[in-house]
Amino acid sequence: MKRVTLRGLLGRKLRTILTAFAIVLGVSMVSGSYVLTDTISKAFNVIFESSYSQTDAVISGKKVVQYAQSGNALVSAELLNRVKKVDGVAAASGGIIDYAGNSDQAKILDKQGNVITGNGNPTFGFGIDPDQPQFNPMKLTTGQWADGKHQVVIDAATASKYGFHVGDSVKIAAGGIHEFQLVGIAKFGDVASVGGATIAVFDPATARSVLHKDGFDIVSVSAKAGVSLEELIANLKPVLPSTVQVQTGKEQAKSDEQSVSTFLKLIRYVLLGFGGVALFVGGFVIFNTLSITVAQRTRELATLRTLGASRRQVLRSVVLEAFVLGLGASLVGLACGIGLAKGLSALFKALDLALPEASMVIAARTPLVSVGMGTLVTVAAGLFPAVRATRISPVAAVREGASVSTGHKSRRSLVVAIAVVGASIASLGAGLYLSVPTPVRIVSLVGGALALFVGTAMVAPRLVKPLASVVGRPAAAFGGVAGKLARGNAVRNTGRTAATAAALMIGLALVTFVSVLATALRGSDSTAIKRQLNADYVAVTQNGWASLPTAVGKDLASTTGVQVASSVRGEQASVNGSEVLVSGVDPATISKVYRFDRKKETSLASLDRTGAIVSKTMAGDEKLHVGSSFVVTTPAGKRFDLTVSGIYAPPKFDPLLGEVVLTQTTFDRHFQRPSDSLVLMRSNRPAAQLSSAVAKYPDARVLTRTAFIADRTKDMTDMLNMLYVLLALSVIVSLFGMVNTLVLSVFERTREIGMLRAIGLTRRQTRRMVRHESVITALIGAALGIPLGIGLAAGVTGALTKYGLSLSIPVGPLVIFGIVAAVAGIVAAVMPARRAARLNVLTALQYE
């Protein structure tokens, strides 16, 4: 039986290749995800390990909040001097190195004066002591280290890409534009490039001056000979204030790498998710293909039964076929995944989102998971056709045109299908609307979505005829005889048509879900911003999320023609362990450009040195009311008391002000290195004139109110386009499934097509018949998938109404999705249609 099975696979090469391709695509996405993220992770490992390879201990500020613009607490020069005197310390050096990239931004300008990596890549500014090379994480490739207030070293990748050489003049934006002489070019450890990031290296004194820091990010320490790490750490702790910490070099490397690993895990899970979707769709393709081939091999399998093969042997034969198919396709997919990883890396580079890379990493987990998933999905999809094959009786071998029963639409199958759909809706409802732990929520949502697709596919055979009568009407009306035959062929075997359409249904449902949800998010975001914004213009940074120097607001306020320019400070902080955004405003001007949705007791005039306006949500969470006191902890670890002067109700979706609103005077007194997140303006001058007022700040830009709203939602549009590209993989898989089904259908109907040709059907009409059938099947998939996607999006938006999200149906994109489905049907039919038209009439009539 094994030999028969393997010969059967080799004898049906086209079907085998088309079926395998569905698995190849899914597995390649899975393996490519692992290879890409493992390779990037290795590069970061090299970076961080080399940073502290000769450092025994690192003193740094404790992290109070994530993504602070001003960075963690600084280590003072006084503390550095005390550390140098601690027993067991051989050397200590203060440095400006913040791998979070928020507080040490020094943006290199190209030779045309434009900011490099203005699209959001990190722009590091380091301060490294040239007299302590053992603590330097970088290596010179040419020149010397910066040792003076007019000198700078830049990374090798930036120098190469933008044509900088030692001796050139380099302009760097940090608060304003500063000009330096390029004295050296360096690379980070053993990594040639740190992706799309740029690095400007100064001596510590210059870095502190340029970046406005009154201390150091870190103090690197080396121990004297014979002093253990434990002893060194123990000696250092007594001299440290509560706002800083000490770790070994290896511990600091792991700490720096933690935020990066979280980001890489996110990339990995997203890519793996889409790979899983492709495999799930591939499972439908395999199920349908094996079901058809089992039906076509009825006499073959029955003959094996008459020769003595048992039901178990037949079962094993079909399962073995699925196993060999899945294993072979998964191995090919594993190899293709390596190429896909390189392709994704090139795509990131093309989008200026390159990440550091080292030599390619293929961990043991990659082939195990990738090949295991692909093989398991294939075998699982082949189990039902295998069980069906065991029901073939030996007497079928002598029956003319005998075929295995494809099953009938029994009441029991309908009950099971409805039960699956009901259970899936209950699971989705629990994940969306109930307060459950995050792991339970994820399982409920993913499991519910998968079950919903399966349940819909089980119900689909009963929907094929009514749907075909609608979507097939144009083909019957305008396609002549070929169109009418095509509609009849689509409903002849409703189970087959439903299974073929189900593969496309999943892809279109997910694309529709993303499109509807993204439209709702963009619409809600736009509404929320319009509700808050009462300004004509808004000044922001190039990427929209970094901070502006406070001088930008002052310069705009003094610009002719500007009636009001109100700066909004912004920084993360902690209140009772919860992270909140704190905004610093000018009470005299903010209400002229920002609409406060205030409760009656809120008054901007009541803000003083200790007063704060808090959001309604925070007041509820922290049980605050007017007159209540609370404590704020800054990123630097400084604690101060505030009193609630008022409560306001900003939109829960994309508020422009934070949960805590202070006066700018109070904000500047407590937060280190204050900066602005926005500058809101009222002016009758054109944007170009206002932009000239901030020309000396190359990362700043002035947008009209409409442009600011569009820019604020741009990231959602970019994300939507990326999701479309990734979801296109599942549509491609379903496309191959349609090709497979049509090829097998033509093969199955060889004699029928021969008879149609004999009674006058032309080659052209034959091709049109197959094309119409493919388009009808694709449109059935669209008719199932698009409403399903809208329903899923409606469920999600319903669960998020408390955040101001409302359902909005994007009619245009949904029409395009329907057109894409029809085009997919036409493309899928090209090869099967040509094959059907080329059948020899006499040979076809003799076919059994």
Whether residue 234 is found in the same domain as residue 87: yes
Q: How far apart are CA 72 and CA 671, in angstroms?
A: 11
> What is the distance in angstroms between the CA of the first residue and the CA of the last residue of the chain?
24
Q: How far apart are CA 524 and CA 517, in angstroms?
A: 10
| Domain end among 682, 698, 714 | 698
**Digit-coded pLDDT (tens) for 158-203:** 999 899 999 999 999 887 889 999 999 998 766 666 777 889 999 9
Whether residue 694 is found in the same domain as residue 709: no
468 closest CA partner among 775, 790, 832, 789: 775
Whether residue 366 is found in the same domain as residue 484: no
Whether residue 204 is found in the same domain as residue 274: no
Strand partners of residue 401: none
217 domain-assigned: yes
Joined tokens for residue 332: 């090919």
**Digit-coded pLDDT (tens) for 298-334:** 666 777 778 777 888 778 887 888 888 889 889 999 9
| Domain end among 214, 242, 270 | 242
Q: Cβ–Cβ contacts within 10 Å for residue 403, how many?
A: 15
- DSSP, res 185: E
Radius of gyration of the chain (CA): 33
Task: Judge whether 741 and 496 are in contact, CB under 8 Å.
Answer: yes
Least confident of 185-189, 658-662, 741-745: 741-745
The total number of structural domains that make up the chain: 4
499 domain-assigned: yes
DSSP secondary structure string, 54-67? Answer: T-SEEEEEPP-SSS
Q: How confident is the model at residue 608 (pLDDT cuts 50, 70, 90)?
A: confident
Whether residue 652 is found in the same domain as residue 789: no
What's the average model confidence in pLDDT over 570-598?
A: 91
752 closest CA partner among 488, 465, 469, 464: 488
Tokens 């290896």, residue located? 250
757 closest CA partner among 361, 439, 481, 404: 481
Name the burial class of residue 641, with classes exposed (0-12), middle (13-18) and buried (19+) by CB atoms within 10 angstroms of its CB. Answer: exposed
Least confident of 128-142, 473-487, 574-588, 717-731: 717-731
- Chain centroid to CA 79: how far? 42
* Residue 615 structural domain: 547-698
Q: Cβ–Cβ contacts within 10 Å for residue 265, how many?
A: 12
420 domain-assigned: no
Task: Judge whether 154 and 171 are in contact, CB under 8 Å.
Answer: no
681 domain-assigned: yes
Give 158 or 390, the one with higher predicted confidence. Answer: 158
Q: How far apart are CA 351 and CA 345, in angstroms?
A: 10
**Digit-coded pLDDT (tens) for 71-109:** 889 999 999 999 999 999 999 999 998 877 666 688 899
Side chain identity, residue 271: L
Q: How far apart are CA 673 and CA 211, in angstroms?
A: 9
Whether residue 126 is found in the same domain as residue 75: yes
Q: How far apart are CA 658 and CA 613, in angstroms?
A: 10
The CB-side HSE value for 239 (13 A sphere, CA atoms) comes to 19
Whether residue 392 is found in the same domain as residue 261: yes
Whether residue 228 is found in the same domain as residue 112: yes
**Does residue 544 surpass a pLDDT of 70?**
no
Task: Judge whether 702 and 694 are in contact, CB under 8 Å.
Answer: yes
What are the b/e assignments for 588-608, b being 16+ CB within 10 Å?
ebbbebbebebeeebebeebe
| Domain end among 400, 422, 440 | 400
**Does residue 683 surpass a pLDDT of 80?**
yes
3-state SS of 322-354? Answer: HHHHHHHHHHHHHHHHHHHHHHHHHHHHHCCCC
Task: Give the model's pLDDT for residue 404.
Answer: 43
Whether residue 167 is found in the same domain as residue 205: yes
- DSSP, res 238: G
Task: Judge whether 782 and 498 are in contact, CB under 8 Å.
Answer: no
438 domain-assigned: no
**Does residue 703 surpass a pLDDT of 90?**
yes
Whether residue 724 is found in the same domain as residue 834: yes
452 domain-assigned: no
Whether residue 568 is found in the same domain as residue 681: yes
Whether residue 67 is found in the same domain as residue 216: yes
Q: How far apart are CA 505 and CA 205, in angstroms?
A: 62
439 domain-assigned: no
Sheet harboring 57-61: ordered strands across?
89-95, 218-223, 57-61, 244-248
- DSSP, res 802: G
Strands, E assignment, 536-638: 537-541, 562-575, 578-585, 611-615, 629-633
Q: Are strands 660-663 and 639-648 parallel, antiparallel or unpaired?
A: unpaired
Task: Give the model's pLDDT for residue 167.
Answer: 94
304 domain-assigned: yes
Which H helix or E strand runs over 812? helix 811-828
